[in-house]
Chains A and B, each alone.
Chain A
Amino acid sequence: MSVEELGPRVILNLCGGKLQITESTLGCIIVAFVLAIVFIYLGSGLKEVPKGKQIWAELIVEKIYGLTEENMGKENLWFAPYVGTLFSFILIGSALGLIGIRPITADVNVTFALSILTFLIIQFFGWKTHGFKGKIKEMCDPYPFMFPLKIIEDCTLPVSLGFRLYGNILGGMVIVDLWLGLMTKLSNYLTTIPFLRFATALPLNGFFDMFEPVIQTFIFTMLTMTFLAIALRKEEN
């Protein structure tokens, strides 16, 4: 991690530099594999009476389903697996700064991939539940000239979702890096060993690598659920 180059490092160049494998690509694959292995392990060998790891698995699943039901209603409960996947992936991906790896969500490509996925799901299920005519009618509500405004409103959703997560995580990463650089400089006045880097960044780590990812993950999934619930809502009359 260094402030001079804000983008992720390129690890592998394929096809003469056209296809680049960066740190965040590799990080995404590793996080996905680790999450899959952990959750398959937690979900294997379920018994009638929960014991050991099954208690944790049930706790996680119960919380995710509760959150989904609270925000989207009982009839849309089948979105809970998507919400849970999004939640765990973003949480682990943003908190990677704790172990000194560049957080994968500090890359605009990763966050935009996630937000465009959310956008596509919202649009797909919105058109599916309302039908073509119903959706057009809803977008022309209350006045027909609102139609272009509604299109703009729909298109700003992935942009704001993606940039919010990216900016927050990148900002935290930059601040922790600047602090470490300052500590190196200060300790260089005394000795050549950068001893001041030891443990002085812990409060910053606590805020930017533990608190901020939880809040941002919560907000990302919360907004996803809210907009999905709005798109899926049927008219009462």
Chain B
Amino acid sequence: MGTLAIGAGLAMAGAALGIGIGQGFAVGKGLEGMSRQPELSGKIQTSMIVGMAIMETIGVLAFVISIMLTGKIG
């Protein structure tokens, strides 16, 4: 049973690591573009947020998996 709990934690940890790095890149590049062209900031911000949400899907899928795993512990 203990391995299930470790697996659930590891699923979240791996996903969060990747997403953190990916979203950091996205925001950094987005801010770079915004500071270079402030008149386009609205458009850049929209596509940045949508892109970040698509990245976040992986984390959410990992979250769903770890919830399924925690449900099996009891």
Contact = CB atoms under 8 A, between A and B. Distances in A.
B6 interface: no
Nearest to B70: A6
Contact of B49 (A6, A164, A218): A218
Interface residues of B, number: 14
A171 interface: yes
Contacts of A226: 50
Given A6-B67, A6-B71, A168 B50 contact: no
B67 A219 contact: no
Contacts of A218: 49
Interface stretch (B21-29, B31-39, B58-66): B58-66
B61 A163 contact: yes
Given A6-B67, A6-B71, A166-B64, A215 B53 contact: yes
A164 B67 contact: no
Mostly, the A contact residues are helix
B61 A167 contact: yes
Contacts, number: 38
A123 interface: no
A129 interface: no
Interface of B: 46, 49-50, 53-54, 56-57, 59-61, 63-64, 67, 71
B69 to A, nearest CB: 13
Interface string A142-168: 000000000000000000100110111
Contacts of B54: 223
A168 B60 contact: yes
Given A160-B61, A167-B60, 19 more contacts: A6-B67, A6-B71, A160-B57, A163-B61, A163-B64, A164-B53, A164-B57, A164-B60, A167-B59, A167-B61, A167-B63, A167-B64, A168-B56, A170-B63, A170-B67, A215-B49, A215-B53, A219-B49, A223-B54
Smallest CB-CB A-B distances: 9 pairs: A167-B60, A219-B53, A164-B57, A167-B63, A160-B57, A167-B64, A164-B60, A222-B50, A171-B63
